[in-house]
Amino acid sequence: MAVCVTVIGKENSPKYISCLNPELDLQFQYKVHTSLDVVEEKLSSVGKTSGDVRELYLGLLYSTEEHKIFGYVTNTKIKFIIVVESSNTLLRDNEVRTMFRKLHTIYTDVVCNPFHIPGDPIISKNFDATVKSIMSGNA
Amino acid sequence: MLSVEKMNDNDTTVIKESCIMDSKPIITFAGDVALFSSLEASLVQALPQDSSEWRRSYGRAVKSVYVEASFISFSKDILPKQGDWHLIQQPIFHIFWTECVDLDAYKTTVREEIEAWLKILGQHNIQDWMIVLVETYDIRKTNKLLPRTTVLDKIRSDFASKHGDRCLSVINPIRSESRSAESWRGLLARIRHLLLFAYNRTLIKFEEVIRDQRERRNEPGWNFCQYFLLQEELAFVLEMLGLYDEALVQYDELDAVFTQFVLNSNVGDTPEWLSSFQCPFENWSGLVLGQTVNQTQRSLLNDCKASLLEFRSYLFSRQCAMLLLTFKPWEIAQRSLPFLHNCIKELEILEISTPPGAVACWVFLCCLEVLQTCERFNDSGQVEAYSLYTASLWAYARDKLRDLGQLCGLMPGCDPTSEQLHTVVSLSGGMGDCQGNSKQPTPTDKLKEALSSKEAFRKHYLELAELAMGTFKHIGRIRSARMIGRDLAAFYLQLGEMQKAAVFLTDALKTFEEENWRQLAIETQLELADCYRKMDDKERFIKTCTVIASAPELNLSTRITYFDEMMNVLEELRTESPLITSFTDAFKLVSLEVSQHGNKVIIQDSTVEVNVVIESRFPKLILCINAAVSVEGVKDGKRQNDLPNPRPQEVPAEKRQGSGGKKQQSIQSQRNDTGDAQQLSRCNSEEMKPVNPALARLHMVEHLDYKQDKSLSSASIVSKNPKQFLRRTNSHGKYRKISSTPKGDFSSALVAENIILKPGRNEFVVKSKAQEKGLYRLGQLSLLVADSLEFLSSTINPRVSFEVMREPSSVILNKGEKDLLAGLEQEMVLTVSAGSYTIGENVCLRLRTSRGLQMQVKSSEESLTRDLEVPLPQSEPFQTLSILLRVLAELPPQKDAGTIEHKVTLQCPWKPEEKNIALHFQPPLMSSFRLHTAYTRKFVQILVIGLNVQMLELTEPTLTLTGNQDVRLGSLNPTSGQKLIVGSGLNVSFMWQLDVGGVEDTCPIKTEFKVHYSPIINLTKLVSEDETQLYRCNFDINDYKTLFVVKSRVEPTKGSEFCRAGTMCHLQLDVQRVNASSHSSLMYEVLADQSMWAVCGRTAGVISLDSVDKQNVTLDVMPLIGGFLPLPLVRLSKYIPADQKTSSRDPNRKPELSSHTTSHPRLEPFSPGQVYNSSKAQQVHVLPSATASSATDASLA
């Protein structure tokens, strides 16, 4: 379903990047980094209008001919960014939301680990495995 | 008479004017054509001047609509046929005009005309009609009675029995304008209302048709193009009525339907009609946004010949037209990118083969068209709204232009082949012609020009890139701008303009580094390195290489390549001062530790050593020629105070007691007390990290809530100071700070040379000689590599410091536990603190004492001496030596308790000046002397008073004469028995009888008192030391002869037997000379207690013993009370008459006294012992006064 899943820290530094195709890793990093522009834009506009604060899903950040990039931000300003292929026309918004929710859940598990230092890159086999399954659409 | 006049101008609807449809609702007229012609102009003009409410069925919102109309003559042919669902060019409403007011005329002609007219309408199932009777206002008529039936009534009754509102009479405004206004307005409102009513009716029917058609979409033979054109009719009508948003909804619906078809074709069968879109296309002219309908494209659609792009372009242009009509250019921009992406996706899904570059051309043209359209709206609100979307459009256009450039060989560094030139020609052909003027070239013009030459391409490409970057920056999307910057850098790199490329790359690098995107940063570093290499900017190239060679993200071979390259370039580099770069990732300072050898401080002139552990990330060994740690002195005033005080040199020995051993400890405790000024002597990388606030401990406390009845409502834990943790922190320090530390002062640095740094952990020691005393901090680490590359660390934090001290040596003489006592051998401690010095071999301390004080080293067997040399053992700095000394201060003849002061002069070999130490010894005892007299016999008492808690046993007291006088001393002291012990509060007296014999009392007797003493070492058993010391004291005995004896007695008067109070008695006074005396003239004085005795007559008198040895004097005294009364005291003094020269009488007297001879006589007292009063302390019994008692008795005690 997804081709790239990333977790971006509070200060916009990458904490976790996983791509379906590791060779494209760099290309996706550029894309994800660029998408932070839109994340920040959306976050700052939410602050102004004081809309539904509980909505963590940011929706489509931007799209290219090949990819669509979706964003999600936790209350602690941890950003999840998922890249899907544009050709995947069957993917619904709801499915993207579900992916994010799963990601959020396993991220919470990682952070709950007493040996994880908040702000450090995520190194967890379990997280890896779940992300892989999210990307392949099996989760 | 009648003429059809086309309306030509209407300024309320400028937008509509430009619309090619130019459509207005069509109303037919029938009946009196000439009459209508006269009214048409004003009708056309007046209709749109007011709005009318359009009530629609199915609960749709009521809209306020301005209607206009164009009028055509009624004829049977123009009426819509059954099944013809074109809405636009069809008449929608029909009006019959007449001005017949004559009932007869009506009946004969007009009625038939209307009948025929209605019949035709009825045949076509048309119910939207109206009959207007135009009357001429006649003033005369008003006066008359109204006619019974008018033509209007008749018409109504004939044709509109159910629809009375469809027949209307108006007053002809041409004839009498003033009167007609009311009825004219009524007519207009009625026309508007009925017209809209007609539309409502028609549209409901039409929508049913559309729905019906749509339901059949899956049937074979159904054609989307036909359906599209059908539903578009509805959109046209809505547009015509000014309901642009509703028209847009129609187009959006069509868009959605088509999109769904395409998506479905992906999974299922492709309907027949869709395959017509799948044919390859030759035309890729871009969008043309305007309000006009592109009739060519529409007709292509009608013929099912439109390509996908043509259809999409048409649909999008219509959507845009609606958006423009509602002044929403930003929405056009917003929709553009998804639209273009969607089109490309559909091309893929439908597998439409496209000539290479054609899609790119189309996208480019579309982007530019949208952008140009948006730019027409230049008020700031609109710009703000659409900039958000135009930025990515600019970027997209730039992307496509780049693709085209690559396709056509227009990128820098390549030359177009003939094949590529051919591509350009065919692409340009496909774009079609869309000529603009020279001032405003159309997108097509621009693209054609850009593709025409490399030069033009570059110009256009750069312009687009700048615009895209600028717009991104404007809307605050820096990262997006940086991405374009990277692309631009690559472009410039190809152009050979390295300088420009480097600028863009550094910008991008900064952005990546700020947010710690390491992989992207290193990728950019690689590009930068490439750039610098081409620029031959060796310094920057080397710096970049250091980063690349030490980047863990890269594979080893790349790192080694760059490392080798760096070393090569370094050799070529010839600069005067080494190239300075920061540690970045090449080296990491792991830990630093000041070697201390157990000391907290470094002694001046010794070597400071700092252990440095660094981690090298370079892939290979590297020789570090010089590693240095800069050292900076701390000049902070506060710290100066924290420095351990230099020991004051001239402190009296007593005050220094007990401090010697605790010195180090006290320094340490001082350090720890200073808290934040705490000095660290080491740090490691863990400590260098800033504290992670997320790991801070939360202070949670239990919180219980109780209900009103005191039962527990809830229990929770709350944070005591949530503000500290919930504080917003993103405003400050959001980005990682990348600061380069300037090179500090390395003038006094700790240095190590020629170290080979291997990959990974390296440990080395940097040293330097400690120079000035003070507190120093380690500043930064510098590693000089290969002669000309210097790595500088950032300032070392936490600050590691060391202290250089110069501690003066000190020599202190301390007493032992007990008080210093003279006359006893005692222990003293000589404490030598080496300070920051070492004491070498064969060094002696020389001690010289004042007279009476002797010392010796305790361990030495040698005798006590006044000049002592104390050999010192070799010692390290800050060692403290304690040497025990034996000390004996002489105990001089001690007649009071005053201390004995001694001085010790101390000479250290390392100090030129001598040091004087004052010592105060307490005497353990003192002695005093008294002479006692018993008539003519004399006794000497010597009192030894103990002064100290140290008790002493006294033995062998002797008193010897030192003169040759013929005097004997007889000891009255016991020789055995109780031990004689003195101590504080314990005194001992010794007695000797003095047998003076015939010695004249002219010169004093010199005696010497000696006693042995030894200290008692065991108080309970009173055991004393075996060794005894001798105490001597000289006493001179003066006036050791009794000269006169005074005897006194009180006797009752003659005849009385007893003394009685209140009765006169006699005081008999006998003075007898017992030894020869030069004084013969004596004065006696009776000193009676006045409460007991009353002396009658003279109390004093002078007697002379010149000739006789004894004299008697009788005085009258009266006792005042009864009882045993002490006798009145008699004092005898020397009497020196006034005229007598004392000098002649007494040669012993001092001459000056005699020179003071006055005319008055004077008295001189005798020394005690010279006059012996034998009646001293005698009492006399005095009876009470005679009246009270009969018997008195006087007796001598």
CB contact under 8 A, A37 and B736: no
CB contact under 8 A, A77 and B730: yes
d(CA A102, CA B961): 121
Q: Helix, strand, coil % (nearest 5) of chain B?
A: 35, 30, 35
CB contact under 8 A, B692 and A117: yes
**What are A31-79's pLDDT values in tens digits?**
999 999 988 888 887 655 555 566 788 888 888 888 999 999 998 889 9
Cβ–Cβ under 8 Å, residues B684 and B614? no
Please tell me the least confidently modeled range out of A12-16, A99-103, B19-23, B580-584. B19-23
Average pLDDT over residues B959-973: 80
Query: CATH code at A100?
Result: 3.30.450.70
Domain count, chain A: 1
Report the largest interatomic distance among the alpha carbons of chain A, rounded to a whole angstrom: 42
Residue B1000: C-alpha distances to residues A126, B996, B1038 (Å): 127, 9, 11
Q: Does A89 touch chain B (CB under 8 A)?
A: yes
Q: Which residues contact B334 (CB under 8 A, 6 or more apart)?
A: B386, B388, B389
CB-based burial label for B381 (10 Å; 0-12, 13-18, 19+): exposed
Model confidence band, residue B597 (pLDDT cutoffs 50, 70, 90): low
Residue B157: C-alpha distances to residues B106, B153, B161, B271 (Å): 13, 6, 5, 57
CB contact under 8 A, B515 and A33: yes
Average pLDDT over residues B1081-1086: 86
Model confidence at B353: pLDDT above 50: yes
Six-digit token pair at B1168? 């005690």
At residue B251, φ and ψ (nearest 5 deg) are -65, -40
Query: Chains A and B: how many Cβ contacts under 8 Å?
Result: 71
Model confidence at B675: pLDDT above 70: no
3-class DSSP assignment, residue B685:
helix
Please tell me the least confidently modeled range out of B394-408, B834-848, B888-902. B834-848
Percent of chain A with pLDDT over 90: 42
CB-based burial label for B408 (10 Å; 0-12, 13-18, 19+): buried
Residues of B in contact with A12 (CB under 8 A): 515
Interface of A with B in 51-80 (CB under 8 A): 62-65, 77
Beta bridge partners of A16: A7
d(CA A29, CA B801): 44
pLDDT value for B984: 82
CB contact under 8 A, A34 and B695: no
pLDDT value for B17: 34
Average pLDDT over residues B1179-1191: 69
Peptide bond between residue B798 and the one before it cis (omega within 30 degrees of 0) = yes
At residue B878, φ and ψ (nearest 5 deg) are 65, 15
Model confidence at B236: pLDDT above 50: yes
pLDDT value for B703: 87
Model confidence band, residue B981 (pLDDT cutoffs 50, 70, 90): confident
Average pLDDT over residues B141-160: 69
Rounded to the nearest 5 degrees, what angle is found at the Cα of B303, between the Cα atoms of B301 and B306?
40
Model confidence band, residue B1196 (pLDDT cutoffs 50, 70, 90): very low
Six-digit token pair at B540? 């920057």
Residues of B in contact with A117 (CB under 8 A): 692, 694-695
Residue B216: alpha-carbon gap to chain centroid:
73
Average pLDDT over residues B664-668: 36
CB contact under 8 A, B517 and A11: no
Residue B624: alpha-carbon gap to chain centroid:
37
CB contact under 8 A, B337 and A63: yes
Model confidence at B1014: pLDDT above 60: yes
Interface of B with A (CB under 8 A): 263, 266, 337-338, 341, 344-345, 348-349, 392, 472, 475-480, 483, 512, 515-517, 519-520, 523, 692, 694-695, 730, 734-736
pLDDT value for B663: 37
Residue B212: alpha-carbon gap to chain centroid:
73
CB contact under 8 A, B517 and A29: yes
Model confidence at B1025: pLDDT above 80: no
CA-based nearest residue in chain A for residue B262: A89
Q: How far does the CA of residue A134 sit from the closest CA of chain B (Å)? A: 24
Model confidence at B736: pLDDT above 50: no
Model confidence at B662: pLDDT above 80: no
Average pLDDT over residues A5-18: 91
d(CA B1097, CA B1115): 8
Q: Please choose, from the candidates B205, B207, B211, B71, the residue with its C-alpha nearest in 3D space to the C-alpha of residue B127.
A: B205
Average pLDDT over residues B456-467: 90
pTM: 0.64
**What are B745-780's pLDDT values in tens digits?**
777 788 888 888 888 888 888 888 877 777 888 888
State the residue range of the domain holding A61.
2-136
Q: How far does the CA of residue B51 sit from the closest CA of chain A (Å)? A: 37
**What are B1116-1164's pLDDT values in tens digits?**
888 888 888 888 888 888 888 776 554 444 445 444 444 455 567 788 8
Please tell me the least confidently modeled range out of B306-310, B796-800, B905-909, B982-986. B796-800
Q: Does A38 touch chain B (CB under 8 A)?
A: yes
> Could you give all domains of chain B from N- to C-terminal order, each with its CATH number?
20-215 (3.40.50), 580-636+677-688+744-806 (2.70.50.60), 810-921 (2.60.40.10), 925-1037 (2.60.40.1230), 1044-1145+1155-1188 (2.60.40.10)
CB contact under 8 A, A11 and B483: no
Q: Name the residue among B480, B520, B692 with its Cβ closest to that of A29.
A: B520
3-class DSSP assignment, residue B598:
coil
Return the DSSP state at B800.
B
| Tokens 């101390």, located at residue | B906
Q: Does A20 touch chain B (CB under 8 A)?
A: no
Beta bridge partners of B632: B777
Model confidence at A119: pLDDT above 50: yes
Average pLDDT over residues B79-104: 77
Q: Name the residue among A30, A87, A118 with its Cβ closest to that of B694.
A: A118
CA-based nearest residue in chain B for residue A40: B477
Helix axes B518-535, A25-49, angle to 10 degrees: 120
Residues of B in contact with A89 (CB under 8 A): 263, 266, 345, 349
Residue B787: alpha-carbon gap to chain centroid:
40
d(CA B682, CA B593): 4
d(CA B582, CA B791): 5
Average pLDDT over residues B320-349: 88
CA-based nearest residue in chain A for residue B733: A11
Please tell me the least confidently modeled range out of B130-139, B646-655, B922-931, B1115-1124. B646-655
Average pLDDT over residues B1169-1185: 84
d(CA B206, CA B231): 9
Q: How far does the CA of residue B63 sit from the closest CA of chain A (Å)? A: 31
Model confidence band, residue B85 (pLDDT cutoffs 50, 70, 90): low
CB contact under 8 A, A37 and B730: no
**What are B486-513's pLDDT values in tens digits?**
989 989 988 888 888 999 999 999 999 8
CB-based burial label for B590 (10 Å; 0-12, 13-18, 19+): middle
**What are B841-887's pLDDT values in tens digits?**
777 888 888 888 888 888 877 888 888 888 887 777 777 888 888 88
Q: Strand B1065-1073 relative to strand B801-805: parallel, antiparallel, unpaired? A: unpaired
Model confidence band, residue B174 (pLDDT cutoffs 50, 70, 90): confident
Model confidence band, residue B897 (pLDDT cutoffs 50, 70, 90): confident
Q: Compute the mean pLDDT over every residue in chain B, rounded to the nearest whole number.
A: 78
**Which one is predicted more confidently, A120 or B1003?**
A120
**What are B359-373's pLDDT values in tens digits?**
888 899 899 888 888
Model confidence at B436: pLDDT above 70: no
Q: How far does the CA of residue B692 sit from the closest CA of chain A (Å)? A: 8
pLDDT value for A8: 93
d(CA B143, CA B141): 5
Q: Please choose, from the candidates B101, B71, B96, the residue with its C-alpha nearest in 3D space to the C-alpha of residue B175.
A: B101
pLDDT value for A100: 93
Residues of B in contact with A71 (CB under 8 A): none
**What are B801-828's pLDDT values in tens digits?**
777 777 777 778 877 667 788 888 888 8
ipTM above 0.85, yes or no: yes
**Which one is predicted more confidently, B83 or B60?**
B60
